[in-house]
Structure 1
């Protein structure tokens, strides 16, 4: 049986982890990791912490080892996780230029086809719509304002 993992925290590290645990703009899994480290330092063992967080004991052990090797930075995920983008910033600028300069209007299906033909990048119409909305692009449709009729 391996030796139990035990973290020893200084006063400053404990305060930092407590602040991180309640920080409003930190992902929940990072907060959980900070709390796992604090609980271990307070004397809780790995099986008890795993039961509290309803996770595997191995997850708790990995978190504690990440703290030992990387300190505070070890609580965050390493870069490179997840799927890589299929598009670049230049592809989006191309679409936005098309929307601004062309005299016609485009829908997201047409933008998807245009991007694939001109730039060789395959993105779904839904994905293009979400990306452009997130960037604040308004599109190429004319802007209409509704005017309420006067009531006499």
Structure 2
């Protein structure tokens, strides 16, 4: 079984992401990506996130992976 994808965010990073998520000028897709990152950092699994966001588990994994590789 592959290792669980886990993002760690500083309090500052989390605050910046939450501000972005609530910015009315932020595109909906970006808001969902931010939510994926924040939920993963809070300990949610890919399956839980995909059910909540209504994305496929593969899309959630790719979003998390991209964040881990690119660092934002």
CA-based RMSD: 0.8
Aligned to 2:62: 62
Unaligned runs of 5+ in 1: 73-152
Q: Deviations over 1:27-85 (max 9, x none)?
A: 1000000011000000100000000011110101111111112233xxxxxxxxxxxxx
Provide the C-alpha distance between the structure 2 equivalents of 1:27 and 1:43, rounded to a whole number of angstroms: 25
Aligned to 2:19: 19
Question: After superposition, where does 1:1-150 map in structure 2 within 5 Å?
Answer: 1-72=1-72
Provide the C-alpha distance between the structure 2 equivalents of 1:55 and 1:65, rounded to a whole number of angstroms: 15
Provide the C-alpha distance between the structure 1 equivalents of 2:4 and 2:16, rounded to a whole number of angstroms: 24
Larger radius of gyration: 1
Q: Comparing both structures, which one devotes a greater share of its residues to helix? A: 2
Aligned length: 72
Larger relative CO (CA 8 A, sep 6+): 1 or 2? 2
